[in-house]
Structure formats: structure tokens, C-alpha cells
Amino acid sequence: MGNEKKLKVYCETTFWSYLVGRQTTDEKIARDQAFTLKWWQEIAPKCDIYISQYVGIESARGNAEMAERRLQCMTSAQSVDGMIESVENLARLLHEGYAVPVTETTDAAHIATAAIYGMDVLLTWNCKHMANLVTMPKTAAIVAKAGYDCPVIITPDEFLAKKEAFGL
């Protein structure tokens, strides 16, 4: 890519869970896992990959073996931690604006972190509270009103289908 600026991609917890997930007979999950692996192999090397403390905390939960696999995969990612007060303030605005339910504090924190740190993309399999076509315009408006650019919130399969739009 020469001197071209690499795409800044924040990989939210569900991405890592699907990347290292056990084989399953559930066709949809297996398909999503395959797209996650394909994205990781084909696209990730062309991007700067980021995580936050929120990803680390969530990824450490659950089955110890799977948590270790998730955390091990994340060692190549850069961590953006710091501006906790700014993240909490933007997350609160996302809750108050009904873009993310108040019960989903970490989901709002992922979006806020990605926006505050200037990510181009937030990669997630969370279509309920993040990559949701109904709430995304509300999310983008709240983030913009707070003075940040909203990252493109997208699933790995959608990203792969539109990779040319990202210059990849």
C-alpha cells in the first residue's frame, strides 16, 4: 500500500468470538465464522486493527479455553485506552438518544470508543445494538452532534461484499 493511510478498524468482541469459535452445526453461525476468518486473512493485514479495554474485559469472560484463544488472537491489535470520561459521556448520549439501550453499556462504549479514537470502521456481529440499520442513523447523528465522525458500523460479510468501497 506504499504511503497510503491504512484503514483504522475497531474489532468489537463478537468479531473475536467468531474468529476463534468452535465448529458448529448451526449453518448461520458457521457461515458467519467463515466470513470472519476470510476477513481476518484477506483484509486485516491491510488495516490497522484496534481493540479497547472493553473488548479485553468481555473477551476474558466465559469458557476459559475460549477466552484464552480470543485474547491470544488480539495480541496483534493495538489497544486504545485512555479517554474513559469522554467515552462514558458519549456512551451516555447514545443511551439518552435511544440509539443503544441503557442496559447495553458496553455496546455503547464500543461505539463511543471507535468514534472518539477516529476509527474508520467498527467491525461487529452485533446486529441488535450496533450494526442495525434502524438505529445506525440515530447513532451517527448523536456521534456527529458530539463532534466526532461516526465509524462505518458493519459486519465482516458486509465489509467483504463492499471492500472496494473501502479501497481494498
Q: What percent of the chain has pLDDT over 90?
A: 77
User: In angstroms, what is the C-alpha Rg of the chain?
Assistant: 15
Write down the pTM of the prediction: 0.92
Query: For residue range 89-127, what is the model confidence (pLDDT) as tens digits?
Result: 999 999 999 999 999 999 999 999 999 999 999 999 999
Residue 163 CB partners (closer than 8 Å, separation 6+): 43
User: Residue 3: its pLDDT value, please?
Assistant: 57
Q: Is the pLDDT of residue 40 over 60?
A: yes
| Cβ pair 39, 123 in contact under 8 A | yes
Rounded-to-integer distance, Cα 138 and Cα 66, Å: 34
Provide CATH code, domain 7-161: 3.40.50.1010
Domain boundaries, the chain: 7-161
Query: For residue range 127-144, what is the model confidence (pLDDT) as tens digits?
Result: 999 999 999 999 999 999
Of 82, 89, 95, 70, nearest to 17 by C-alpha is: 70
Q: What percent of the chain has pLDDT over 70?
A: 98
